[in-house]
Chain A
């Protein structure tokens, strides 16, 4: 079966712009989580969606937002980009939640210039 698909793979944006990243989970998976990975901070939890509802949220500013659609596909949006937002953004899906482990996508590499 198809894995977790993230698009685009690479993105270059300018400070102040906004960006939307997309994630298609494994078919049948209802939980989608997002993580930010940077060399300095490591893997940081952004938020988790389950059946279109945000179930958990990490400690990120309001510029970071997300949503989940009825087909479980998820998007995350970052507004007013800052240089520090440059990171690998990873999406992960699971059947019911992280209790049994995640399947991760390959990530979107965002560079803010």
Chain B
């Protein structure tokens, strides 16, 4: 079963613009992680935010977490063609050691 739902399912923007993806989840979490997947390949870990954190930055990435709304967002600034990929949020719940992935957002950057 999937814990997270991502919105939008697909997003196309011009190179240089900012891209924002949202993730909602259902139960209390220990942390939330974002991953990127290039077509048909493995996932790459981007950033992790703990339940007691509200915002984190890593290079051109900014992640926010609102535990009261059970939602997170990933912002990619100054997008590049190489950012074209699917992006997944994944939640780690208390008491277990498995990540539950969302449905993903397919991001296309138009050169």
A residues with CB within 8 A of B: 4, 6, 31, 33, 35, 42-43, 45, 48, 50, 55-56, 58-59, 88, 90, 92, 97-107, 109
Contacts and interface: CB of A to CB of B under 8 A. Distances in A.
Interface residues of B, number: 25
Interface in B62-111: 88, 90, 92, 96-104
Given A56-B97, A97-B97, A107 B31 contact: no
Give the interface SS of chain A, mostly helix, strand, loop or mixed. Answer: strand
B21 to A, nearest CB: 15
B34 to A, nearest CB: 10
Given A42-B104, A43-B101, A90-B43, A101 B2 contact: no
Interface of B: 1-2, 30-31, 33, 35, 40-45, 48, 88, 90, 92, 96-104
A90 B42 contact: yes
A37 B104 CA distance: 12
14 contacts: A31-B97, A42-B101, A42-B104, A43-B101, A90-B43, A100-B48, A101-B48, A102-B35, A102-B43, A102-B45, A104-B44, A105-B42, A107-B40, A109-B40
A74 to B, nearest CB: 15
A100 B88 CA distance: 16
A99 to B, nearest CB: 7
B40 A101 contact: no
